[in-house]
């Protein structure tokens, strides 16, 4: 396969349909992905705030970030990148580690950081269950049912991508906060000097599909869990 074919195959659905000139596919993907991206990013950021609140820090609560209102969380540029490139970001949730009830503040920050990606994986699991139930319990050829099923499948796939991407241990991603909990400050300072270069390398790896193997494995694992859960109740 040529390099141009490799790049084309790994472009996100919305960007690929836009560049292909297929207006109908683009509009359908856009109408489904707009709310799906909003839901994924909103749940992710709200989970950070809820985790911080559970540990005693009320900074996010005072800033109005313990909400599922997307206007409180969405960053326009990050939202656009999520739509077109398959990865993006929202407005960071403010956290004050001095408000934590636990002594190990680095561990507390790691818990807050993990809450976002884990919420996305849970959201993906629930979304896949809904999509599967629509497929098996509501056996209909109606376009509306198929569209709703596709919508929840989009939420599942986007949630997995967002969650796994954020677990990469590179600043400013959530995985870096988890890694910091296990590293001495001296080593953190050394790594921080190379963070911009490392982040650009990670973005390139993700953009060209080289990270797809990890995302696909996690996605398949969550989907299989959802299938088992659905068949338990069928």
Q: What is the pLDDT of residues 76-110, one digit of tens each?
A: 888 887 777 666 778 889 999 988 998 888 899 99
Buried b (16+ CB within 10 A) or exposed e, 183-209: eeeeeeeebeeeeeebbeebbeebbee
Mean pLDDT of 179-201: 79
Q: Does residue 45 have an active-site annotation?
A: yes
Q: In Å, how far are 166, 174, 192 from 195, measured between CA atoms?
A: 15, 14, 5
Name which residue leads in pLDDT, 193 or 125. Answer: 125
Domain total in the chain: 1
Predicted pLDDT at 118 = 96
**The pLDDT of residue 24 is above 50:** yes
Domain extent at residue 125? 3-233
Mean pLDDT of 121-137: 92
Query: Distance between CA 79 and CA 82 in Å, rounded?
Result: 5
Predicted pLDDT at 185 = 77
**The pLDDT of residue 63 is above 80:** yes
Question: Of the ranges 26-40, 128-142, 151-165, which is most confident?
Answer: 151-165
pTM (predicted TM-score): 0.85
Query: Distance between CA 176 and CA 168 in Å, rounded?
Result: 7
Of these residues, 12, 37, 41, 45, which one is catalytic? 45
């Amino acid at each position: 396969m040529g390099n141009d074919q490799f790049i084309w195959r790994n472009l996100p659905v919305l960007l690929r349909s836009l560049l292909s000139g297929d207006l109908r596919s683009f509009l359908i993907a856009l109408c489904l992905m707009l709310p799906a991206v909003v839901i994924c990013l909103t749940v992710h950021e709200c989970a950070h705030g809820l985790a911080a609140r559970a540990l005693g820090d009320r900074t996010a609560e005072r800033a109005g970030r313990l909400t599922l209102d997307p206007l409180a969380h969405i960053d326009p540029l990050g939202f656009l990148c999520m739509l077109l490139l398959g990865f993006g970001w929202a407005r960071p949730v403010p956290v004050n580690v001095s408000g934590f009830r636990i002594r190990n503040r680095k561990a507390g920050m790691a818990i807050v950081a993990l809450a976002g990606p884990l919420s996305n994986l849970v959201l993906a699991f629930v979304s896949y269950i809904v999509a599967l139930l629509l497929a098996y319990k509501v056996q209909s050829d109606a376009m509306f049912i198929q569209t709703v099923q596709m919508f929840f499948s989009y939420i599942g796939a986007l949630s997995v991508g967002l969650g796994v991407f954020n677990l990469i241990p590179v600043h400013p991603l959530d995985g870096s906060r988890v890694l910091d909990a296990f590293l001495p400050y001296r080593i953190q300072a050394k790594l921080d000097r190379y963070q911009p270069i490392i982040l650009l390398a990670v973005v390139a790896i993700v953009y060209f599909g080289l990270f797809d193997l990890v995302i696909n494995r996690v996605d398949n694992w969550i989907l299989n869990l959802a299938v088992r859960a659905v068949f338990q109740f069928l």
